């Protein structure tokens, strides 16, 4: 615990000593002891990246994890429970992290690879504070680093996409070319290849996680070139993919246009109404359970087991990644589910190791 806990205990002990010296203090002493043993809230907070807490993806999933921690321990949103600060630009990261630390939160999360430098800086300045960083490694004794096997979720998404395509052309839209997104891409390509190595996958990066209009432009070109399934790992930029898919489906209901979401189950983003009936253009989503990881680390820290200076990696076996339910509208839904389950068990058992880099993908293709 941080300074505030020591201060509270010192005040309690001082009060007990003073009352004892005054004599006749039995009842008062009992009261002070009760106050001192009252459990103090373990408080947690997070700083979003530029995608924002309502990006329907990565940051939102992290926030769901904090809310779950709050609900589990009877906490309320705010300085005495759990909270977040939203970053409008990269320049906000260090300021927001420092603000939450000064508000005396017991654990502060930086959400995303882009916060690496800021966490590293603030952790060195605030050595008595504890931090968690998602998708990056910070080698500081007061920082717990959280990584995921995104390649495993991407692989399962690739299995679904390869089984769903009718045009034999598939698309992948990435946010920024960083290791986290590369793992999604590489896993996805490996999954597609495992079903049919002759399928073509067009890959394009937007260079941003908060540009929905750019995501829509990229998706439009991919669909126009013949792709009928597109997977995104682009945060808020991916919302543009969903809009384009919905627009195309509404314009021509006979077209089989599909999208695959990322991080959280994005099914709600695929709903389109046609002649009074709801359809959904999202096949599934490659789940990255940031919520589970944030909840898990928060509980470990609360119990006194904060893994400072360590890296914790969450994959399929740890329920850290996965695949959302398959859309009921796919005519071969059962076949897709069976294929996904088959590969899921191979990955969990270790019989299949999904490539996590382009070099590993090249070797995977050569097998």
Domains present along the chain, CATH in parentheses: 44-148+290-317 (3.40.50.2300), 150-288+331-366 (3.40.50.2300)
Q: What is the pLDDT of residue 55?
A: 79
Per-residue pLDDT of the chain (367 residues; tens, 9 = 90+): 444 444 443 433 344 443 344 444 333 334 333 333 335 899 999 999 887 888 777 899 999 999 999 999 999 999 999 999 999 999 999 999 999 999 999 999 999 998 999 999 999 999 999 999 999 999 999 999 999 999 999 999 999 999 999 999 999 999 999 999 999 999 999 999 999 999 999 999 999 998 999 999 999 999 999 999 999 999 889 999 999 999 999 999 999 999 999 998 999 999 999 999 999 999 999 999 999 999 999 999 999 999 999 999 999 999 999 999 999 999 999 999 999 999 999 999 999 999 999 999 999 986 6
Q: What distances in angstroms separate CA 356 from CA 38, 111, 155, 184, one per listed residue?
A: 47, 21, 10, 8
Q: Where does 97-157 show beta strands of DSSP type E? A: 107-111, 130-134, 143-148
What gap in Å lies between CA 335 and CA 81, rounded to an integer?
46
Report the interhelical angle of 92-102 vs 116-125 (nearest 10°): 40
Whole-model pTM: value is: 0.83
């Amino acid at each position: 615990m941080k300074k505030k806990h020591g201060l509270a205990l010192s005040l309690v002990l001082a009060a007990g000593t003073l009352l004892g010296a005054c004599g006749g203090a039995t009842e008062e002493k009992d009261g002070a002891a009760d106050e001192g043993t009252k459990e103090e809230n373990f408080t947690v907070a997070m700083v979003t990246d530029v995608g924002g807490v309502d990006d329907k993806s990565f940051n939102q999933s992290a926030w769901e994890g904090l809310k779950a921690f709050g609900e589990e321990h009877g906490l309320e949103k705010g300085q005495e429970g759990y909270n977040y600060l939203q970053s409008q630009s990269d320049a906000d990261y260090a300021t927001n992290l420092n603000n939450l630390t000064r508000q005396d939160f017991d654990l502060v999360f930086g959400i995303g690879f882009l916060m690496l430098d800021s966490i590293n800086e603030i952790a060195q300045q605030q050595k008595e504070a504890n931090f968690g960083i998602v998708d990056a490694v910070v080698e500081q004794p007061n920082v717990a680093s959280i990584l995921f096997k995104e390649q495993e979720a991407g692989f399962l998404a690739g299995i679904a996409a390869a089984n769903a395509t009718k045009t034999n052309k598939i698309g992948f839209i990435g946010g920024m070319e960083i290791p986290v997104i590369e793992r999604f891409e590489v896993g996805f390509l490996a999954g597609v290849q495992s079903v049919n190595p002759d399928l073509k996958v067009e890959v394009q990066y937007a260079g941003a996680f908060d540009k929905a209009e750019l995501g829509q432009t990229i998706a439009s070109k991919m669909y126009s070139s013949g792709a009928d399934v597109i997977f995104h790992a682009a945060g808020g930029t991916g919302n543009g993919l969903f809009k384009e898919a919905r627009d195309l489906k509404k314009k021509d209901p006979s077209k089989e246009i599909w999208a695959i979401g990322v991080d959280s189950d994005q099914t709600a983003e695929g709903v389109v109404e046609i002649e009074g009936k709801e359809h959904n253009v999202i096949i599934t989503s490659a789940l990255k359970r940031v919520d589970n990881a944030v909840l898990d680390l928060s509980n470990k820290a609360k119990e006194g087991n904060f893994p400072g200076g360590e890296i914790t990696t969450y994959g399929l076996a740890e329920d850290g990644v996965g695949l959302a339910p398959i859309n009921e509208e796919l005519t071969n839904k059962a076949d897709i589910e069976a294929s996904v389950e088959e590969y899921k068990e191979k990955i969990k058992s270790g019989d299949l190791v999904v490539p996590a880099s382009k070099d590993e993908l090249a070797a995977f293709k050569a097998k």
